[in-house]
């Protein structure tokens, strides 16, 4: 196998807890493997994306459970909180598409929609009141997938961002052929400032894929 892609998470960008720090270290070590592959010509890259709708770690199964149990409210950690969302199939398709353009050392970030947690709760149970329970220790108010510091090495394509590595062998040719352009200095890709927002209808369509 000459191409390997590791799956990462938004928590690796600007980590605030040990889990995020370990994911960042994993990303750095995996990308550094490109310097150690020698004549084997193996290349290593990373895919970073947000919450997978319906996955065990997302809030969707919790809300579904509470609704099924007849709860009189849905708990919301903070009314300002926003998250990136992606379906499992979209995630799989995105990873596979990265193999055809990767050179090694990139971090690929898909362009995916955001949704506020309050809007998510309302879309799933419009008649249930919401109770703010407070943000948990080590939890971010918003998710960040590309930081301002990363913007200096970030290209934008139609459906994704590519954070390039600082390798001598790095060539821009494949991305120039795909009409890639550099993002502006100081660019930040975060769930609260995203330009693509889920509405109830789109969310229900995504949730249908998880059933």
Token readout for 202 is 């789109």
Report the alpha-carbon distance of residue 142 to residue 83 in Å, rounded.
6
- Do 140 and 192 touch, CB atoms closer than 8 A? no
CB atoms within 10 A of CB 187: 17
Q: Which of 11, 23, 65, 131 is catalytic?
A: 11
Is residue 65 flagged as an active site residue?
no
Helix, strand, coil proportions of the chain in percent (round to 5)?
35, 25, 40
133 CB burial (10 A radius; 0-12, 13-18, 19+): exposed
Write down the number of H helices and E strands in the chain. Answer: 6, 13
Which residues partner with 85 through β-bridges?
51
The pairs formed by 56-63 with CB atoms below 8 angstroms and a separation of 24 or more are 59/117, 59/120, 60/120, 60/124, 60/207, 60/210, 63/120, 63/121, 63/124, 63/125
Q: Provide the annotated active-site residues.
A: 11
């Amino acid at each position: 196998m000459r191409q390997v892609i590791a799956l990462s998470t938004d928590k690796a960008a600007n980590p605030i807890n040990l889990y995020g720090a370990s994911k960042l270290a994993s990303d750095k070590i995996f990308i550094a493997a490109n310097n150690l592959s020698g004549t084997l010509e193996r290349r290593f890259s990373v895919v970073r994306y947000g919450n997978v709708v319906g996955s065990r770690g997302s809030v969707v199964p919790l809300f579904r459970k509470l609704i099924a149990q007849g709860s009189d409210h849905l708990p919301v950690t903070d009314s300002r909180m926003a998250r990136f969302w992606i379906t499992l199939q979209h995630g799989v398709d995105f990873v596979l598409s990265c193999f055809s353009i990767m050179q090694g050392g990139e971090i690929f970030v898909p362009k995916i929609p955001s949704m506020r947690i309050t809007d998510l709760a309302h879309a799933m149970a419009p008649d249930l009141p919401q109770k703010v329970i407070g943000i948990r220790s080590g939890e971010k108010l918003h998710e960040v997938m590309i930081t301002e510091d990363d913007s200096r090495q970030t290209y934008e394509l139609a459906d994704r961002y590519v954070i390039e590595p600082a390798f001598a062998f790095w060539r821009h040719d494949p991305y120039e052929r795909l009409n890639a352009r550099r993002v502006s200095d100081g660019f930040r890709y975060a769930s609260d400032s995203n330009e693509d927002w889920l509405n109830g209808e789109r969310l229900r369509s995504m949730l249908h894929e998880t059933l």
